Amino acid sequence: MPGSELPTIKVLITPEYSLAQHVTGLLVDLTVPSDQVRQLPEYSELLSFTNSFSASSDSDEEEDTGQAFDTLAQLLILAKSRFENSNIEWVEGRSTPEYMRLICRASPLELDQKGTRESAVDLRCDQGGLLGSGIAFIPLPASEEICRIVVAWDLSKAPSGTRAVWTFGEGPDPVEMTGPSSILCESVYMVGKIQSNPSAALPWTLPDYYGFYWFGDLPPNIQAIRDIHYEFLLKVSEFFQDPPSASNPYRAFVRNNGAVMSFGGTGFTRSHIFDYDDQIAQAHDYDLVRRMSYEMVHNWLGPPSTDDTIDWLYEGISNLLSLYLPSRNGFRTDDYFTSTFNTLCMKYYTNPLLRVPLADLMILAPTNDYAKEMIAARAWAFVAGTDFRARELSELKRPVEDLSIKVLAKKRARGEEHGIWEWMDLLHPLMGEEVVGRYKSMLGGSVILLPVEISDVKSYRLRPVQQEVLDFGMDRESFEKGMISGLKLGGRAANAGLREGDKIIWSSHLWKCVDDFQAHMELVVRSGGVEKRVRYWPRSFAKVDSWQIVKVEDQDVSTPPVGGG
């Protein structure tokens, strides 16, 4: 169907300002196509709002929650929730001819010092501007039919120098995209005094398919990522045989959350938000390169941002490619390969839930960070082990990548099944039932043993080591809730002077200790009315068998090969 004949969803976004000329919220004017509302009976579901949107209003008054119209008059709309803590649904009180127009306001999320587990998708302030995903403020039409989607910005009252960017192009003029209505939610919006790479005083001088955007001044380590981001995108796009274009763009957005603890990214359709805080100096170059690679690969392989499920296979694939792609394409030296390999090994073998079956990990993951980390680490070990074995069996240089990973990405793009069973079917002609056996063993929690020698990287070899198990010495929720609970007596945290019930005023990042074997936790706590700084190593006194990769000439030839769990 030609684009002009498709039903059209129009969104007009108007930023609202404080006296200081900072963006304080967005006025959203949404027109739903007539094909989606004309035949609906009374009390049909028209639109769904996320909890973050409903939470942006402090009042139940109509002018705060929204107003709906059609060609006849204003509609009676009712807010209801089918499930506790789920979407807020709007229903209309009579059948509607032709289109429906909804006007509503959205305000940014106000985070406390520790933030929230699910806050990455929210609308947030940053240095006078606003940045977030459509999940936070775009009412989602119920229909998923293919539409002509038009997003425009009203900047008539905005300060001079204001720019507005959507994943699929820069405003304020209308930007059009064809696809399901979910694109509106699974994409990114940014408005304010935006800076970008490439930089431009005029929007039309930017490329029509790429941009790297931020507010204010970028920290030096993020600047290093910015400078390689575009060229890296081209290499990853080449790997997946999916070059960027005006209709297939990629845009990266960087958000400074100040004192709110955050480090990491969230992938959306053809875009990505990277969040950082005032501890960004802790992040080394390799930390940032790994995350850049992992998140970019998710553009082709990861689940949509609106999907809360954990797709462990894609976690493993993304981590494997974050190991290969930066060093293979010359963005970092071989030292990056060894450092990343050793980090991934350490995260797998020293996790305290190493032998827990995958089904149990999935149950624990929503409330247990060790389980969530174990799923990703085990997935990497499973994919990496399969990759190394396939290289031994095949004359292809990269059989897993060519026979399965790239094929799965194409299946996903076509809307076909692209999970673990398809993965095993693709590798079965090469590996036979061995690939199924590996899968079943992984499900049960058996320790995955990697080969001592990597078949096509003869200069490297795995060396067995003893490493201490990751253990923060207390319930990890303590850091989120701001009070120590579940303190382990005799553990390193308790031995350093921490006490049950101490109030946590400040702490360093947990992620750094998960990714860096040598990293220490630092805390400022109030204990017995006295503030004190505590530093300890978040590792247990128990050691486990682990492995690290070394260059052959650096390895002690007397070191025995890996042979046990």
Please report the pLDDT score of residue 546 as a whole number: 94
Burial of 19 (0-12, 13-18, 19+ CB in 10 A): exposed
pLDDT (0 to 100) of residue 554 = 56
- Residues 565, 447 contacting (CB under 8 angstroms): yes
Q: What Å distances lie between residue 293 and 268, 297, 299, 448, 489, CA to CA?
A: 15, 6, 10, 24, 40
One digit per residue, the tens of pLDDT, for the chain of length 565 reads 444 588 889 999 999 999 999 999 999 988 887 555 544 555 555 555 554 443 333 334 444 446 665 555 565 554 544 444 344 455 555 555 566 777 888 888 776 544 444 456 788 999 999 999 998 888 776 667 888 999 999 999 999 999 999 999 999 999 999 998 889 989 999 999 999 998 874 555 557 889 999 999 999 999 999 999 999 999 999 999 999 988 899 999 999 988 788 888 888 999 999 999 999 999 999 999 999 999 999 899 877 665 656 689 999 999 999 999 999 999 999 899 999 999 999 999 999 999 999 999 999 999 999 999 999 999 999 999 999 999 999 999 999 999 999 999 999 999 899 999 999 999 999 999 999 999 999 999 999 998 877 655 567 888 999 999 999 999 999 999 999 999 999 999 999 999 999 999 999 999 999 999 999 999 999 998 999 999 999 999 999 999 998 877 655 544 433 333 2
Angstrom distance (rounded) from CA 529 to CA 525:
10
Instruction: Strands of 18-76 (E only): list them.
Output: 23-32, 45-49, 67-70, 74-75
Task: Report the pLDDT value the prediction gives residue 479, as an integer from 0 to 100.
Answer: 95
Round to whole Å and give the CA distance between 90 and 81. Answer: 9
Element (H, E) at 365: none
pTM of the model: 0.87
pLDDT of residue 195: 95
How is residue 224 annotated by DSSP?
Answer: H
DSSP 472-530: -SS-THHHHHTB--S--TTSHHHHTT--TT-EEEEE--HHHHHH-TT--EEEEEEETTE
Contact 272, 252 (CB under 8 A): yes
Residue ranges and CATH numbers for the domains of the chain are 3-277 (2.60.40.3650), 301-456 (1.10.390), 472-537 (2.30.42.10)
Q: Residue 521 in contact with residue 506, Cβ under 8 Å?
A: no
Q: In the numeric block, which tokens belong to residue 36?
A: 């989606």
- Write the CB contacts of 221 (distance below 8 Å, at least 6 apart in sequence): 280, 281, 283, 284, 285, 288
Percent of residues in the chain assigned helix, strand, coil, to nearest 5: 35, 25, 40
Residue 524 Rama label (left phi>0; alpha psi -120 to 50; beta): beta
Predicted local distance difference test score (pLDDT) of residue 141: 64
